[in-house]
Amino acid sequence: MRKLRIGVVDLVSKGPTKALYARVMNANLASIMPQVVSAWCEADGHDVTHVCYTGFEDLVAELPEDADLVFVGAFTEAAQTAYALSNLFRSRGAVTALGGPHARCFPEDAARYFDYVFGFTDRAVLRDVLADAAPHRPIGRHVAAVRQPLTLPGVRERWKFIEPTLRKAPALKLVPMLASLGCPYTCSFCIDASVPYQPLDLEVLKDDLRFLLTKQERPNVGWHDPNFGVRFDETLGAIEEAVPPGSVGFAAESSLSILTEPHLARLRKNGFAAILPGIESWYDLGNKSKTGSLRGMTKVVEVSEHVNTILRYVPYVQTNFVLGLDCDEGDEPFELTKRFVDLTPGAFPGFSLLSAFGRAAPLNLQYQRAGRVLPFPFHFLDNNHAMNVRPRNYTWPEFYDRVIGLTRHSFSWPAIARRFRATNATMPRWLNALRAVSTEGFGRIRHYSELRRRLEADAQVRAFFDQSTNAVPLFYEEAVKRDLGPLWHWLPEGALLHDHHAYLHAHEPAGVLPVPVASSDARASAAAV
């Protein structure tokens, strides 16, 4: 195998930014698999340049101009940035590859712009690509392992790529770690529903924690498990065996069912400072919240009491909700959420709009069969800036009126003040305030309000939401252009569009239908070759 010059890009940001919250947090959102790919490539003797793009770097300048192979890891919201980056480096003679959630969710579309598109990735699959390292055009090669790898390089092996990213973070400095892959729950709306739960080697976990204590006085770890603590006793036992209690700070996403009071006491003892439980709905999905058949206000009271208990042990709690589920109807689900916010002032409410991410979640096929999926540019599929599934029980204006009302209630000055007073620890208190006044609070109110106005005043937006046209409204196209900055000129012709029924077509005997190429923009193709 010849020695390659390899660039690996972790697209934490989808474009240049000056946002204060991004400055504080983006470097703490680094993904693990791009670091894994970098470690594996370097171990095989290749020259690797690893870049975690937080929106504050000159992305192109940081990558080798003469790269043989450029790997990009991206969530769907950064897909257009990834496509532009691939196009740019292809023009310089590089072969390009895409991995991460977008590659898994939308492989058919990604293959139009990359030479390789990764599914589950193990070392054998990666070595196959490195041995080939050849262009595959016009349609890229889809490569995937049968299952997820049984083990991954730990922090010690990834440290060379972790440390430069940590230097970009002015606070927190979260080290990304994994104790497991996938999730044992099969929530039909979730992209992790199709990823089998798989515990990872606890010996690697223990070695990582011991290693971190040689590098930092009190390191902070962000667990990237979709549902941390499924193997609670085994995982906490490994942590306790590896490091003294409280010597490492931890943040994790976990289901409420795991967060019993004895478990919470153990989490507090071992330095867990942030927990992100999923509540999702007041009507369905009780298997993760341990609320069984409880519904409506009864569930609100029960969950509120549970979260307030968590806050007595863990200083920072974010409660996660999905808005627009088919079980939602009328004012009630939104009014119940307002009541929860009032009853649980110390928790930061995280709201996601129901979104269909291609092949990833079982419900997506159902939505496509029903003709309810809109072809929003990937750029807006971040669970907040666009809902690409037409709500079953609301018109679009009705839905956004309620979303705006809930968001204004949750991030009003009185709500911010209550949250500030109810949070005891200094950093969580100020982080809550910063999030509320930045893009996650005030910013979303502005965005939803502008979108609501355009549903009345902008004929292009209204026609797009009504599904009378698939043409991307200028409002969205200009937003992509603004956010991509210089990379906009490298976005391939037609890349704002995608086949939003690709999952459906893959299940039909007729096969995949052609992707539409109409666009409201006549972008010059010179930059795309």
527, two tokens: 């930059």
Residue of 216, 214, 152 whose CA lies nearest to 179: 152
In this model, does residue 528 exceed pLDDT 80?
Answer: no
What is the rounded CA–CA span in Å between residue 223 and residue 146?
Answer: 25
Helices then strands (H, E): number in the chain?
22, 14
What's the Cα-to-Cα distance from 95 to each of 56, 106, 197, rounded to whole Å? 25, 20, 33
Could you tell me if 335 and 247 lie in one domain? yes
pLDDT at 285: 57
pLDDT tier at 19 (50, 70, 90 boundaries)? confident
The answer to whether the beta carbons of residues 161 and 38 sit under 8 Å apart is yes
Whether residue 42 lies inside any domain: the answer is yes
Rounded-to-integer distance, Cα 471 and Cα 521, Å: 10
Report if residue 515 sits inside a domain.
no
Confidence of residue 518 (pLDDT cuts 50, 70, 90): very low
In which band, very low, low, confident or very high, does the pLDDT at 511 lie, cut at 50, 70 and 90? very low
Whether residue 122 is predicted with pLDDT greater than 60 in this model: the reply is: yes
Question: Before 138, cis peptide (omega within 30)?
Answer: yes
Residue 504 lies in a domain: no
Among candidate residues 414, 433, 451, the one where a domain is terminated:
451
Both 207 and 77 in one domain: the answer is: no
The answer to whether residues 183 and 132 belong to one domain is no
- Domain contains 78: yes
| pLDDT at residue 512 greater than cutoff 70 | no
Which CATH number goes with the domain that contains 121?
3.40.50
Domain co-membership, 168 together with 119: no
Q: What is the pLDDT of residues 347-366, one digit of tens each?
A: 999 999 999 999 877 788 89
- pTM > 0.85: yes or no: yes
* pLDDT given at position 111: 97
- DSSP three-state, residue 123: helix
Digit-coded pLDDT (tens) for 378-393: 999 999 999 999 999 9
For residue 417, give Cα distances in angstroms to 8, 319, 404, 486.
42, 18, 20, 40
Cα–Cα distance between 263 and 216 in angstroms, integer?
27
Query: Which two three-digit tokens encode residue 419?
Result: 């949250």
What is the pLDDT at residue 186?
72
Same domain assignment for residues 94 and 55: yes
**CA torsion, ordered 486, 491, 493, 498, to nearest 10 deg:** -140
178: helix, strand or coil: coil
Q: Do the domain assignments include residue 497?
A: no
123 and 177 co-located in one domain: no
Helix, strand, coil percentages (3-state) for the chain, rounded to 5, are: 45, 15, 40
Instruction: Tell me what percent of the residues of the chain surpass a pLDDT of 70.
Output: 94
Residue 88 burial by CB count (10 A; 0-12/13-18/19+): exposed, middle or buried? buried
For strands 198-199 and 180-181, give the pairing: antiparallel
With a cut of 80, say whether residue 508 has pLDDT above it: no
CA 445 – CA 109 distance, rounded (Å): 32
At which residue do the structure tokens 């965005």 appear? 447
Same domain, 391 and 316: yes
Of residues 414, 393, 408, 412, the one with CA closest to residue 448: 408
**Same domain for 54 and 10:** yes
In 10 A of CB 476, how many CB atoms? 21
* Total of domains in the chain: 2
Is the same domain home to 184 and 286?
Answer: yes
Specify the pairing of strand 272-280 against strand 348-353. Answer: unpaired
Provide the phi-psi class of 285: left if phi over 0, else alpha when psi is between -120 and 50, else beta. Answer: left
* Tokens 């790919």 belong to residue: 37
Helices (H), 314-441: 332-343, 362-369, 396-410, 413-422, 426-437
* pLDDT (mean) for 397-421: 98
Domain boundary among 451, 478, 510: 451
* End-of-domain residue from the set 433, 451, 469: 451
Residues 139 and 201 in one domain: no
Same domain for 354 and 250: yes
* Position 71 in a domain: yes
6: enclosing H helix or E strand: strand 5-11
* Tens digit of each residue's pLDDT (9 = 90 or more) over 21-78: 899 999 999 999 999 999 999 999 999 999 999 999 999 999 999 999 999 999 999 9
Helices 474-484 and 79-91 pack at an angle, to 10 degrees, of 60
What is the distance between the alpha carbons of residues 352 and 407, in angstroms, rounded to a whole number? 11
- Predicted confidence (pLDDT) per residue in 236-273, tens digit: 999 999 999 999 999 999 999 999 999 999 999 999 99
pLDDT of 293 reads 62
Q: What is the CATH number of the domain that holds 199?
A: 3.80.30.20
Domain assignment of residue 235, yes or no: yes
Q: Is residue 269 in some structural domain? A: yes
For the segment 206-218, the average pLDDT, to the nearest whole number, is: 97
- Residue 408: give the domain boundaries: 155-451
Do residue 88 and residue 203 come from a single domain?
Answer: no
Residue 209 CA to chain centroid, in angstroms? 25
Which 3 state secondary structure label does DSSP give 112? coil
